[in-house]
Structure 1
């Protein structure tokens, strides 16, 4: 985890991300900030969200609509997500057995250096 100077803009982005429910786009975070009356550029929001993801303060996932972010509920801990495709609500989940990843990789002649697991579905509220 790198240490970065916390700037006013980073704090504003982080606060907006904490107010958002589940995984949201940078555009949604930008909307939350500007609706509250603060002027900030969308490119700045993207930069700050990516900086938060680099330090583990935000989770980020690839989604067909683009990169999504949420305030990390377990900073510094490796974890996986169950994500609603409609509203972005998310839950941290444990895979059944992480040793499966290592064994599957070994069976194919690989050594695991990292992995990401995101499970997508539709939450009860969106069904």
Structure 2
């Protein structure tokens, strides 16, 4: 299911509210990780009367339901992105925050092999790759404060 196919008003197990719908729709329209404060600011610009605490709670509920991915910035701040539902990894620019979903069959095989070699079963993993995008490397990227970093 792509993000455009995912319902924005109803998340299984979560009560549908006007605020949750507004946050979900905003997340659907973005293509990079954003902090709760950035999301709150954008919602206010769009005329949504929603408090910052409600944004935080909504994001946590969506993260718990697997509806958004969460990374930490170099300052420890949580940043959020609505991604596809299938297992994937992220390639994240340290300069501008640009994010690309990537498949990692080699990572999957490696994780399974390492787990099996060490007697582990039912394993899961998270892999985020951080670097500098072409635009930032060329000096034309729009570096943001609170750049995404490995946590």
TM over 0.5: yes
Q: Which has the larger displacement, 1-10 or 88-97?
A: 1-10
TM-score normalised to structure 2 length: 0.72
**Structure 1: how far apart are the matches of 2:105 and 2:88?**
12
Q: Which residue of 2 aligns with 1:94?
A: 103
Unmatched tracts of structure 1, length 5 or more: none
- CA RMSD across the alignment: 2.0
Give the conservation status (yes or no) of the 8 Å contact 1:86–1:126.
yes
TM-score normalised to structure 1 length: 0.84
Higher normalized strand content (fraction of residues): 1
Q: Which residue of 2 aligns with 1:85?
A: 94
Deviation sequence 1:10-46 (CA, Å, 0-9, x none)? 0111122223330111111011011222222211111
SS of residue in 1 equivalent to 2:72: strand
Aligned length: 125
**Structure 2: how far apart are the matches of 1:114 and 1:10?**
29
User: How big is the shift at 1:112?
Assistant: 5.1
Deviation sequence 1:65-111 (CA, Å, 0-9, x none)? 31110122x12x11111111222211111225212112223334444
1:70 corresponds to 2:84: no
**Structure 1: how far apart are the matches of 2:119 and 2:63?**
31
Give the conservation status (yes or no) of the 8 Å contact 2:88–2:101.
yes
**Structure 2: how far apart are the matches of 1:86 and 1:45?**
25
1:123 corresponds to 2:110: no
Q: Which residue of 1 aligns with 2:18?
A: 8
48 and 124 in structure 1: CA distance in 2 versus 1, 3 angstrom threshold: same
Q: Which residue of 2 aligns with 1:45?
A: 55
Specify which of 6, 18, 24 is matched with residue 28 of structure 2: 18
Give the conservation status (yes or no) of the 8 Å contact 1:23–1:88.
yes
